[in-house]
């Protein structure tokens, strides 16, 4: 009941935000943009987004090696796409991260290690976005005229960087205090895993490069979508404004970022004179592409067999590690 209530609230947020944006936007202009879609750039945007899914698996594979989790590259790719399916194509009370934890657990990995692996993956994605936004701050400050909006990005970077610094500190002497209680012990586990990653320079570079490339595919996809619907958005402006949009849409207050992403996109590209209707249609098409990209994960999920369709609660596999044969795929 609690899960359904949370999902209902997120769905309401997404619905209200999209309704509000459509209400204040010239719908005729949106429909006209849909009539002018060029297939070539749109197909390229889809291909680029598919590449991001592969890079996600690469990033997660490296993290698993750091954490001592043995999953084959093919298995990691399959689970990454299943996660995309639950996150983007089939938004539900069961998130893609929960599904990935479940399958890794069924491969014989302790549940706390499986959860740490997925959360580390999420943290690396957020850290890469914060890094891109931080590097582009001089350019964004020169473009954004509104003082409140101009200072919001440095504040966002500062809060994000500070959160990572605190988490890193919990991996050392600070974590001794939190390690005393079961409720906060996992924070210490996560912090120590973060320190383990930073000590492995080669793997850290690989994770950072993969994370940056994933976000660059999103930047390039938005630019291609703008080209497809004849919206004048430069690649430089996409590089400056798409990462903050992605960072904001990671806030878990909506279903798969719908509504939040569209609102942030409208505001961001409004600073460079892109009409609201044009920015909205670009964001909506990006959302549809993400849904399409995640769709193959549904087939992979069904191919996992009946046990994968019965649910993902730990009670379904009381012996634990009963599906180690999955890792051989």
Q: Is pLDDT above 70 for 143?
A: yes
Q: Would residue 84 count as lying in a domain?
A: yes
The domain containing residue 165 runs over which residues? 2-7+38-309
Q: Say how far residue 10 (Cα) sits from the centre of its chain.
A: 16
Q: Would residue 135 count as lying in a domain?
A: yes
Q: Would residue 175 count as lying in a domain?
A: yes
Q: Per the structure block, which two tokens stand in for 241?
A: 């404004």
Q: Would residue 267 count as lying in a domain?
A: yes
Average pLDDT, the chain: 85
Report the pLDDT averaged over residues 227-253.
90
Distance CA 232, CA 244 (A): 19
Q: Would residue 18 count as lying in a domain?
A: no
Q: Would residue 317 count as lying in a domain?
A: no
240: left (phi over 0), alpha (psi -120 to 50) or beta: alpha
Distance CA 245, CA 321 (A): 39
**What's the pLDDT score for residue 106?**
87
Per the structure, the count of domains in the chain is 1
Report the pLDDT averaged over residues 214-224.
96
pLDDT tens-digit readout, 32-70: 666 778 889 999 999 999 999 999 999 999 999 999 998
**What's the pLDDT score for residue 73?**
86
Q: Would residue 327 count as lying in a domain?
A: no
Dihedral of the alpha carbons of 66, 124, 161, 116, in degrees to the nearest 10: -60
Q: What angle do CA 162, 165, 170 make, to 5 degrees?
A: 130
Entry pTM: 0.85
**What's the pLDDT score for residue 253?**
84
**What's the pLDDT score for residue 328?**
34
CB 104 within 8 A of CB 69: yes
More confident residue, 314 or 254: 254
DSSP-H helix ranges across the chain = 2-24, 27-35, 39-67, 73-84, 96-106, 111-135, 137-143, 147-169, 175-178, 182-199, 201-228, 235-249, 260-270, 276-303, 306-310
Share of the chain above pLDDT 90, in %: 51
Q: Would residue 120 count as lying in a domain?
A: yes
């Amino acid at each position: 009941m609690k899960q359904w209530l949370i999902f209902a609230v997120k769905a309401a947020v997404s619905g209200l935000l999209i309704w509000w944006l459509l209400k204040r936007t010239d719908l005729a202009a949106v429909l006209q943009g849909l009539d002018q879609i060029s297939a070539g750039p749109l197909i390229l945007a889809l291909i680029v987004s598919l590449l991001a899914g592969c890079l996600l698996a690469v990033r997660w594979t490296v993290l698993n090696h750091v954490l001592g989790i043995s999953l084959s590259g093919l298995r990691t790719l399959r689970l990454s796409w299943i996660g995309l399916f639950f996150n983007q194509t089939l938004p539900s009370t069961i998130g893609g991260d929960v599904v990935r934890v479940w399958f890794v657990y069924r491969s014989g990995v302790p549940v706390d290690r499986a959860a740490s692996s997925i959360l580390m993956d999420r943290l690396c994605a957020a850290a890469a976005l914060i890094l891109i936004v931080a590097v582009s701050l001089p350019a964004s400050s020169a473009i954004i005229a509104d003082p409140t909006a101009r200072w919001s990005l440095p504040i966002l970077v500062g809060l994000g960087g500070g959160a990572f610094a605190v988490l890193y500190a919990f991996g050392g002497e600070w974590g001794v205090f939190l390690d005393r209680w079961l409720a906060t012990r996992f924070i210490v586990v996560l912090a120590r895993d973060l320190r383990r990653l930073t000590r492995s320079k080669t793997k850290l570079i690989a994770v950072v490069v993969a994370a940056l490339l994933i976000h660059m595919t999103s930047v390039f996809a938005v630019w291609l979508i703008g080209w497809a619907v004849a919206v004048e958005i430069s690649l430089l402006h996409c590089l400056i404004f798409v990462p903050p949009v992605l960072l904001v849409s990671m806030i878990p207050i909506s279903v798969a970022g719908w509504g939040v992403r569209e609102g942030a996109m409208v505001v961001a590209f409004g600073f460079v004179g892109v009409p609201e209707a044009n920015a909205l249609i670009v964001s909506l098409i990006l959302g549809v592409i993400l849904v399409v990209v995640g769709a193959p994960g549904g087939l992979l999920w069904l191919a996992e067999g009946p046990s994968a369709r019965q649910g993902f609660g730990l009670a379904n596999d009381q012996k634990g590690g009963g599906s180690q044969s999955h890792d051989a795929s």
